[in-house]
Structure 1
Amino acid sequence: MEAQAPALLDLARTAEAGLAKQGLTGRRATVYLVLDRSGSMRRYYKDGTVQHFADRVHALAANLDDSGVLPVVFFSTDVDGVADIALDDHAGRVEALHNDLGHMGRTNYHLAVQAVVEHYEKSGSKDPAIVVFQVDGAPTSKPAAEKALCQAASLPIFWQFTGFGDPEAKGLDFLRKLDNLTVPEKRPVDNTGFFHAGLEPRELADDELFQQLLVEFPEWLAEVKDADILR
């Protein structure tokens, strides 16, 4: 962590405190960031909100992941791009990559889920993974999203969904109801969490953001160990 830029160091210390509150000090995990590039996300990229959010996920990765990179998946109608962003070269990178990706489309969650699963399996990692999956609307295909998440539950990957936008909007009801994907009928463990970061996510305090990103992770870790998914 000492090799990181001062701004990331400050954020990383806040993330470290958040990990300690959840009893996760010293825990190793692969961290992924998935970013929604549907058309309705345009203003959040333009005003810097997405880069601001990504910087905080980088700080989390600086504490959990020894690889020195944060894999980022951009998705809309398709998977628009996948990049491993170095923790010591993260400044402005998400914004720059987004600007090079062109058209912003629909919201096919399942393709992003599949991209993360493929990356994780190819990596050969023995650590669990936490995926910070940012969206501002419902999946274009709810059945496809549900199927992909249930299939992924047999892997040591936790999906922490984070909503942007109007907290009263119905578009994220799919995520609010993820607990309805029953265990063990539909999936071996509950592998998903959700919280809403609000209409203006940059206004959420860093310590509160880290708390929300991590609150369900310890319980999931216990469940995947009990289910012999994580050895």
Structure 2
Amino acid sequence: MPALSLQKVEESAPALVSLYKSAAASLERHGLDDETAAVYLVVDHSGSMRPYFKDGSVQALADRVLGLSAHLDDDGRVPVVFFSTDIDAETEIALENHQGRIGRIVANLGHMGRTNYHVAMDAVIDHYLESGASAPALVVFQTDGGPSSRLAAERYVCKAATLPMFWQFIGFGNPRSHQFDFLRRLDELAVPERRCVDNAGFFAAGTDPRKVNDAQLYDRLLGEFPQWLRAARARGIVR
């Protein structure tokens, strides 16, 4: 059973109904239709991201994440972290006010800095631990390039492997770009030599992420999550 009913989504966010239905089909395909999870969204606010805010790509991703979260969590809200050199904003998106929400947030942010993954990961970890959540977390982490500090990002992924959190990285930009080489390596970090479970995945959504159809996007967001859940439960990381 979904955390939020179709009727609730129809009443609160009618524009998200098709996304809600598409997310349901993907969850069923991956055997996740009875799972619960705390869903997070992390958004890259570095200078090179301007085109993706302007063309609506970030808003489209936020809407899709909300559509997915409605099945996994029952509050109709997704915590969002905007990051660049440091944390630029910690806020949320919700069913009731999702339309144009990304633009309203960004309008109040300042300088678009560099790309420090680890500060965003730290903020998400703190939020999750302080929330007292018992369900595992699915973190959708959007970026358009590699981190300024690769060593710090790698350390955080390895240390976070002991927590009930899965990091699904999604790249905006040319899939063949060397900007994503680090994320590909991060996705393949050795288990158990570097981390106790494989707690991260990556895929590139292309130069126009809005063109990735809903079914494909959800399948890729959820592609490695079931395997992580099984491994994390086997090690007692997820109850």
- Which bin holds the TM-score, normalised by the shorter protein? over 0.9
**Paired residues, what number?**
231
Q: Which residue does the alignment assign to 2:166?
A: 158
SS in structure 1 at match of 2:8:
coil
Residue by residue, what CA displacement relative to the aligned partner does 1:91-147 show, whole Å, maximum 9, x if unpaired? 111221012112111000000000000000001000011000000000000000001
Within the candidate set 95, 98, 101, 1:87 is matched to 95
Listed as ranges, the matches of 1:185-200 within 5 Å are 185-200=193-208
Name the CA distance, whole Å, in 1 between partners of 2:146 and 2:181: 7
The equivalences for 1:9-48 within 5 A come to 9-48=17-56
Q: Which runs of 5+ in 1 are unaligned?
A: none
Moved more, 4-13 or 40-49: 4-13
Contact 1:109 1:139 in 2 (8 A): yes
Partner of 1:223: 231
Partner of 1:3: 8
Aligned mates of 1:57, 1:41 — CA distance in 2: 19
In 2: Cα distance, 1:27 partner to 1:66 partner? 12
TM-score by length of 1: 0.97
Q: How has the CA–CA distance of structure 1 residues 156 and 71 changed in structure 2, closer, same or farther, with 3 Å as cutoff?
A: same
Contact kept? 2:187, 2:202, Cα under 8 Å: no
Aligned mates of 2:46, 2:187 — CA distance in 1: 25
CA apart distance, 1:26? 2.0
Residue pair 1:3, 1:88 contacting (<8 A) in 2 also: no
Aligned equivalents of 2:189, 2:105: Cα separation in 1: 34
Partner amino acid, structure 2, of 1:144: A
Cα distance, 1:10 vs structure 2: 1.5
* Residues 66 and 76 in structure 2, CA contact (< 8 A), matched pair in contact too: no
One of 35, 60, 83 as aligned partner of 1:52: 60
Kindly indicate whether residue 146 of structure 2 is the aligned counterpart of residue 138 of structure 1: yes
**How far apart, CA to CA, are the structure 2 residues paired with 1:216 and 1:67?**
25
Q: CA RMSD in A?
A: 1.0
Paired residues of 1:110 and 1:145 also in contact (CA < 8 A): yes
The within-5 A match list for 1:56-67 is 56-67=64-75
The ranges of structure 1 where at least 4 consecutive aligned residues each deviate by more than 6 angstroms after the TM superposition are none
SS at match of 1:177: helix
